[in-house]
Amino acid sequence: MAIKKTISILIASLCIVFILTGIFIKYNQGSEEDIRIGAILPMTGSGAQYGEEVRRGMEIAIGEINDAGGVKSVPLALCLEDSATDPKTATLAFEKLTAIKRIQVIVTEVSGVVMALAPKANDKKVILFNVGAQNPKIREAGPYVFSNINDASVESKLLAEFTFKNLNAKKAAVLYADVAYGEGARSIFSNEFRRLGGTIVSEVSFREDALDFRAQIGEVRGAKPEVVYLPGHTKDMAKILKQAYELGFKPQWLSYTAFEGEDVIRIAGKGAEGVIYTSMSLDYESASPITKGFIEKFRSRYSSEPGIYSTTGYDAVIMTSQAIKSIGNDATKIREFLLSMPAFEGASGVTKFLQNGVVEKPLIFKTVRDGEFVIYTGGKQ
């Protein structure tokens, strides 16, 4: 873990150019002979695992593009900045990247970061490509903000309906991260659950990266919910489930796409068993040559399984490169291209942007069974 973190810190604030072999990576500040795509990712901080996922997906995409001759014979370069999962740090990174005149597209994630950068992206007419943040407010973030991942309004609403109608639960609690995406998920889930006729018996927030969540767990437990919705970062959710299990608190836990991560199984152990969550799932058995090819390359390069954020990062680069090939490296034209393009089939599935730059991709329900993430097949777990 220490080595991985060191590597992440070293690559932050560097421009990465993939030469035609797709194997050797040269680190520099870009050149006049390449086309640059920016990225402001959480390479450190509470969201570092998500930043690493996205970086790897982008690396694969850029390697493929440059292996095939680049964008109209010009290499594609990645200029990466570390947001440190902090809006202020991300804002400084944005100013740095946009000072490099040729950067027209910046890939990013983390709700607080996206919301902080959105006004600046709209003002400077730079594409802000969100590949992981799920705050419902991103839907109204402005004309230059695009998201190729469902926001919490899609997942939380569906989960509330599923909870009330399929699980027949009438009393629910929400234990959520005290940040923008957590608050958004809480609001949508609670409002929809109440609308359907259910009762929200408790809403308790927690601080990201805390070590002890027992007080919050005790507060939720005291309200005697049948189900508990848990939107947060993967590591935090894992620690909460572990501590709840140790305290003997075993309601039906519910979560969303970010739940599926290696840390959940490693940290939570038996506490993760039976959690039901919505997933913009990556199909590891997909017959799609694009998805299949991406998974194979990811496994070969990184000796690990890709996650959904690696696929959304990959797709963002591919869509951007297609736009530049078609209409040139100008953000205003790239925006028009993305809004008007037909359904794009990528590693994360099919992407078709609505007029506000968001997507509503199909969701499935999954659960944890015997320490593995599997398709949910019905009934309480």
3 state SS of 172: strand
Cα–Cα dist 291/283, whole Å:
8
State which amino acid sits at residue 371: G
What is the fold, at CATH topology level, of the domain defined by 2-149+286-347? Rossmann fold (3.40.50)
CA neighbor of 291 nearest in space, from 331, 251, 345? 345
381 residues of the chain, pLDDT tens digit each: 444 444 444 444 455 544 333 333 333 344 456 899 999 999 998 788 899 999 999 999 999 999 999 999 999 999 999 999 999 999 999 999 998 767 999 999 998 999 999 999 999 999 999 999 988 889 999 999 999 998 888 899 999 999 999 999 999 999 999 988 888 899 999 999 999 999 999 999 999 889 999 999 999 999 999 999 999 988 999 999 999 999 999 999 999 988 988 889 999 999 999 999 998 877 777 778 999 999 999 999 999 989 899 999 999 999 999 999 999 999 999 999 999 999 999 999 889 999 999 998 888 899 999 999 988 988 654
> Taking a C-beta distance cutoff of 8 angstroms, is the pair 58, 348 a contact?
no
Helix 289-302 / helix 308-327 crossing angle, nearest 10 deg: 120
Residue 20, pLDDT score = 32
Describe the strand order of the beta sheet including 145-147 as a list of residue ranges: 25-28, 14-18, 76-82, 35-41, 105-108, 127-130, 145-147
Residue 355, pLDDT score = 92
Cα-trace Rg, the chain: 20
Beta strands in the chain (DSSP E): 14-18, 25-28, 35-41, 76-82, 105-108, 127-130, 145-147, 171-177, 199-206, 227-229, 252-255, 276-279, 344-346, 349-351, 364-369, 372-375
3 state SS of 133: coil
How many other CB atoms are found less than 10 A from the CB of residue 38?
27
- Domain spans of the chain, in order of start: 2-149+286-347, 153-279+364-375
Distances (CA, A) of 40 to 50, 131, 248: 12, 11, 40
Helix 214-222 / helix 234-246 crossing angle, nearest 10 deg: 60
- Residue 163 corresponds to which tokens in the numbers above? 């909870």
- Residue 309 corresponds to which tokens in the numbers above? 């954020």
pTM: 0.81
368-376: which pairs have CB atoms within 8 A and are 24 or more residues apart?
368/264, 368/265, 368/272, 368/273, 368/274, 368/275, 369/273, 369/274, 370/273, 371/265, 371/272, 371/273, 372/265, 373/260, 376/276
What is the fold, at CATH topology level, of the domain defined by 153-279+364-375? Rossmann fold (3.40.50)
